[in-house]
Amino acid sequence: MPGFELFGAAERQHVQDVLNTGILMRYGFDGLRDGIWKAKEFETAFADRMGVDHCQLVSSGTAALTVALAAAGIGAGDEVIMPTFTFVASFESIIAIGAVPVLVDIDDTLCLDPKAVEAAITEKTKCVMPVHMCGAMADLAPLKAICDKHDLLLLEDACQAIGGTYQGTALGAYGDLGCFSFDFVKTITCGEGGGVITNNADFAKRADHYQDHGHDHIGNDRGAEGHPFLGYNYRISELQAAVGLGQLSQFDEILAIQKRNFSIIAEALKDLPNVTPRRIPEGAEGNHSFINFFMETEQQAAKAQKALGEAGIDACFYWYNNNWHYIRGWAHLKNATGAGPLSEAIKKELLSLEQRDFSKSDHWMGRNLSCLVKLSWTEDQVRERAATMREVLSNL
């Protein structure tokens, strides 16, 4: 991670195909395309790779979450349960459609705690959104059981864990809908882009319409297309999809390199008494894009990050003090600070966050370090890095 470390001939060829036609938009201009439809090609290939029936490409991972929620019929006043550790896009997408984000604790998977989810369900709850953070996943089976019990949607945010699996199923394909990001620092990238996958034909159709101003895409004249319902512009371009196709052709190589590099570092750290690996649910495998582990105390974790940085170990993150990824840094959310007025239901929920007890999340996040696994390292560089990390952490 990220895929931009492996740009090559495949990406250049797909992009050149688009430039040769001059048609950068994914819809229309049929006669000028010379049969080049990169977005359609990517959607078909990605759905096949994920083992699902449908894929809808969009302009970003944030757009993917927004489109998925809207396609599933989530809207004003509906509650969506999400974790305290995620990227800000999770609550942004929920608020964007008028729904209410309900934040609950994580567990030692660094993802949604099923017990916290069940405790947060009300008559307004419509969806549970686990976010598979830092290359690995939530424990999906108990979350699905909760959703089945209460007739709720299970929407997987797999933006940071593409390529991981749970009980033999690709992450994103286990729930009712799954979302991915193809931004510049994801495992495969389009520069900017995202995708929604599902086996539900109705959700797929609604996603197709919603991401393109509500167009029904019937016929080959956009000016004559119907609009069954309101939509917005979350389209991907042909150039973005072209880059993604090149990246997708390297996906297996990317995952293999990540696993090799991850395994070398994990082996070096496995017997350190003050280091505990993040829990991976039984029958699951992450995409190995991050090494995630817990130190014994919050103070030791902060000290470890500083010491690793001083030893030349870059891209080792202490999310506990990060403004983008953990609730402690989301003052704008807890203060309900919008660019314009928010609904009373959203404001009420957000303003309650400051008084809520998230000490269970703090217990895990305060002790966690997440170290990026890069594709560009040689095996010798990985082994040197692993030895340095072991020495630094041992000395603590």
Q: Where are the domains of the chain?
A: 3-250, 252-395
What is the model's pLDDT at position 29?
96
CATH topology for 3-250 is: Aspartate Aminotransferase; domain 2 (3.40.640)
Q: Which H helix or E strand runs over 285?
A: strand 284-285
Per-run averaged pLDDT (10 residues), the chain, 396 residues: 92 98 97 97 98 98 98 98 98 98 98 98 98 98 98 98 98 98 97 98 98 96 95 98 98 98 98 97 98 97 97 97 95 97 98 97 98 97 98 96
CATH (residue range 252-395):
3.90.1150.10
Catalytic residues, by residue number, are 186
pLDDT tens for residues 295-347? 999 999 999 999 999 999 999 999 999 999 999 999 999 999 999 999 999 99
How much is the pTM? 0.97
pLDDT tens for residues 219-249? 989 999 999 999 999 999 999 999 999 999 9
**249 CA to centre of own chain:** 20
Cis? peptide before 83, omega within 30° of 0: no
Backbone angles phi, psi at 66, to 5 degrees: -65, -45
Residue type, 185: V
User: DSSP code of 112?
Assistant: B
Q: Where are the beta strands (DSSP E) in 121-232?
A: 125-128, 153-157, 165-166, 169-170, 177-181, 194-198
Q: How far is residue 28's CA from residue 197's CA, in Å, rounded to a whole number? A: 23
pLDDT tens for residues 257-275? 999 999 999 999 999 999 9
What is the model's pLDDT at position 98?
98
Collapse the DSSP code of 394 into the 3-class scheme (helix H, G, I; strand E, B; otherwise coil) and give the result. Answer: helix
- Asked if 127 and 69 count as a contact pair (C-beta separation under 8 A), the reply is yes
Collapse the DSSP code of 257 into the 3-class scheme (helix H, G, I; strand E, B; otherwise coil) and give the result. Answer: helix
- Asked if 229 and 235 count as a contact pair (C-beta separation under 8 A), the reply is no
CB burial class (10 A; 0-12, 13-18, 19+) of residue 220? exposed
Backbone angles phi, psi at 226, to 5 degrees: -85, 170
What is the model's pLDDT at position 326?
98
